[in-house]
A and B are shown apart, each in its own frame.
Chain A
Amino acid sequence: MTDILDGVIAGPESVDRRCYIDPAIYELEQKRVFEKAWLFVAHASELGNAGDFRTTELAGQPVIAIRGVDDRIRVFFNSCRHKGTTVVGEREGTCRKLKCPYHHWTYDTCGKLISVPRVEGYGKTFQLSQHGLVQVPRVANFKGLIFANLDPDAPSFEDYLGPAIPYLAEVAEYDGEDLVTLGSYRYSYAANWKLIMENTLDDYHAEYLHDYAFAQRAELFEMGGTSGFQEKEGARWSVDLGMHGAYDQYDDERTLKIQKRRQRRVYVGIFPGFIALYHPLWDVTGLRIVEPVSVAETNVLTYCLAPKSATHEQRKSIGEHFHFSWGPGGRAGVDDIVMFSRVQKGLHAKSVGPVLINRGMHRPDPVGGAADDHAVRGFWGGWRRHMMDETANAAGTVVQASANVGD
């Protein structure tokens, strides 16, 4: 049988343009990647009290994350057992019970069906206990990050993260302190979902695409040093984590006008579509959840987080720094979104050949310079593993991450 991926190159040195523009490959990604991978659902701080809920989709299937009266966070398919209606229509909120609007079948916050109008119509054998909301097979809480997996046979979340654990742990907490969600919103861009993953793990572009933004930032916020230009400020490494990727940067103290507590910038990409980042220039912790809509349309759910102990003024300040740089109105965010559309259009020039992800390939160590493509190659290792059933990263090695953290 011919596989649509026959002959497709997906790293480690280059990537076939079809991977970004072919609708058939996109459809295959939904089955082989998004129905099998661990996907972000919510941050625990959004579900602080019993009855707090948040809705989203996993590979196109509607789900609801909710904290039950027993204080446990569960993730259910957001679909009534009666007619399939989405039980909850809102994106977030709090409730004492979940009542389907269609025929008022009602569930408690633990998912149990507790009432059905005129239930006798279903006969004596009908049991409420057999018609509760259906849970998503696998759920994990990693330092407040709630992930779920549609595949009951998926590896544990910790096994899935593998060497990415210390990197994600570093961002998921603020210097050992819990983080809370300040706010979140969705935006969209007209290009393939993988472009923002590559973009976020590629520190090479920042100094050039965002040159004026960095210069304005330095002036407007009266920053010293070299204002975060990565080649000039302690750029250190990009790391291939086999299926995931990360890079860090050590910012000049003179640039750190906002705070002095944490100097290390860390961006972590968890395959397929999750980014966690801490940016010391702004003291901002952010999450990006990549939600494919079609081969050339993507939604991004973006979060801004703050340490739990932050004062009202500190939270305002973090929000201000977040929106100055990121998102569809932020200085750097606009640059990136515009560029995604241009890349997507340019990729249709099929005869030009594959795109390159080979910066730093001459450095065989999985840890390269900060502007190298090691983290990007990690992402493509995950893609091959899911799409091509490749059991090992083509780079051949997985870095022992612990050696690089905390120095």
Chain B
Amino acid sequence: MTDANSNLVAARDLVDTFVATLDRDEFDAWLGLFADDGYYAVLRQLELIQDNNVVLIGEDMKRLRARIESGRERDKRRTVHMVSGVRVAAGGNEVSAAFALWYDGIPTYSGRYLFELSGASGAWRIRKCTVVLDNDIIRAPIYMPI
């Protein structure tokens, strides 16, 4: 298997684990995908372009853990994520994928995941996950990570 192919396999596995742990409420495992200096952001395409930090979520690991700690008690919506189009950038440490998210069976959000990774392929840790929503209007509160 070429490096490119093995990277793609590893990237698909990473993205699949990312959404599967969210959908199964395995949030400790989800947090474990991140590097110690990891960062998680949810925004729209416009905020990505403007880089204005007026985003929906933008949290380091400490705040992300706190969000999950409180959100577990308050956000009981069931989620299903679907992902497609997983790609690895030429440099090998950036992965992107399209996603769609259902809350309690209702299609609510879609967009792209942009991952910046550290470590070797197959043992990647997420240094930054940017969730770019396609939605112009944010139609549901975002408590737990999406």
Query: Residues of A at under 8 Å CB distance from B?
Result: 91, 182-188, 212-213, 216, 219-220, 299, 304, 315-316, 318-320, 322-324, 327-331, 333-334, 337-338
Contact = CB atoms under 8 A, between A and B. Distances in A.
A255 B75 CA distance: 29
Contact of B47 (A183, A299, A315, A320): A183
15 contacts: A183-B50, A184-B54, A185-B138, A186-B136, A187-B138, A216-B66, A219-B66, A220-B62, A319-B58, A323-B57, A329-B42, A329-B55, A329-B57, A330-B56, A334-B142
A328 B141 CA distance: 4
Contacts of A183: 47, 50, 52-54
Interface residues of B, number: 27
Q: Which of B50, B58, B62 has the most CB of A within 10 A?
A: B58
A31 B49 CA distance: 38
A324 B63 contact: yes
B44 interface: yes
Contacts of B50: 183
A61 B106 CA distance: 30
A323 B66 CA distance: 15
Contacts of A318: 53
A36 to B, nearest CB: 26
Contacts of A186: 136-138
B52 A182 contact: yes
Contacts of B136: 91, 186
A220 B53 contact: no
Contacts of B58: 319-320, 323
Interface of B: 42, 44, 46-47, 50, 52-59, 62-63, 66-67, 70, 74, 136-143
A59 to B, nearest CB: 19
Contact of A299 (B44, B55, B137, B141): B137
Contacts of B63: 220, 324
B47 A185 contact: yes
Contacts of B140: 328
Nearest to B51: A316
A188 B7 CA distance: 40
Given A212-B70, A220-B63, A338 B141 contact: yes
Contact of A333 (B42, B52, B141): B141
A334 B44 CA distance: 18
A188 B137 contact: yes
A187 B139 contact: yes
A248 B134 CA distance: 37
* Residue from the set A185, A216, A219, A318 with the largest chain B CB neighbour count within 10 Å: A185
A185 B54 contact: yes
B142 A319 contact: no
Given A323-B58, A328-B142, A216 B70 contact: yes
A182 B54 contact: yes
Contacts of A316: 53
Contacts of B70: 212-213, 216, 331
Nearest to A297: B139
Contact of A323 (B46, B55, B62, B139): B55
B138 A328 contact: yes
Contacts of B137: 186-188, 299
A213 to B, nearest CB: 8
A337 B141 contact: yes
A91 B44 CA distance: 14
Given A182-B52, A334-B142, 20 more contacts: A182-B53, A182-B54, A185-B47, A185-B54, A185-B56, A187-B138, A188-B138, A188-B139, A213-B70, A220-B63, A315-B52, A319-B54, A319-B58, A322-B54, A323-B53, A327-B138, A328-B138, A329-B55, A329-B56, A331-B70
A328 B56 contact: yes
Among A186, A328, A330, A331, find the residue whose CB has the most chain B CB atoms closer than 10 A: A328
B138 to A, nearest CB: 4
Nearest to B73: A212
B66 A327 contact: no
A362 to B, nearest CB: 35
